[in-house]
Structure 1
């Protein structure tokens, strides 16, 4: 596992194959980082599926409303929900969408990011300046690479638990 420099701004996502450690960027996207930390601390991301996973592009998750995909209804609605928290204003930056970068998903309105996010499998510079970058994978990218593909996947992988490193006992 990577050395955790700032536990309050590090997210640990447990996947079926192991842990993914994400360095969050509160200096770049303070509102998005705060919302993600709050949702993680409330357990909202636990057992939420990766509902949109596109080979050579990205893996999207975080639909806390429909994210369990436990029945056909939710399977069809996966990716259309959000949390009970308010949508966030865009926090665009000059950081590029490189491999391992975490961006906030949104609807057509740039100020509609809420709980869904994605992790880039490879660079996607066409997203630069149009989506909020809030973090980057510093360890466990091989586990992200192993996420089952599909829109939605027939048997989706899930975030088993999502924790802020400061809340995890050593």
Structure 2
């Protein structure tokens, strides 16, 4: 069996980086202060209360909750952007492994992935900002801190031409 090429290895690294954004918390939402109040972790897939372990999926949240402020809509926008970024990274990885790196397909996919991940970071920042605008609440945009370096990784890879 031949060793994996550098192109397929970096493609898989990119896929793993994007997939990690589904597993990492996007925002830490605290009520009544970061240290003394209650905290909820917001992920791409839902909300989790670390004190109880209770999980509410994003679909359940939007199905059963009414009268939501506009800033909360940044959450599904970010999720959609992350799903699109994963698809873009997967297409770019497939193109690179299929022997088409010189065609520019991989570089275009990397630029698209970087832009979509930058949008994820902006969506999380917007969500955390909206939450923090409420009295006694704080939103820490962890997803922005995680998404923007991954976006930078894809952008630099596209600029270098692999």
TM range (shorter): under 0.3
Greater RCO structure (CA 8 Å; 6+ sep): 1
Higher strand share: 1
Higher helix share: 2
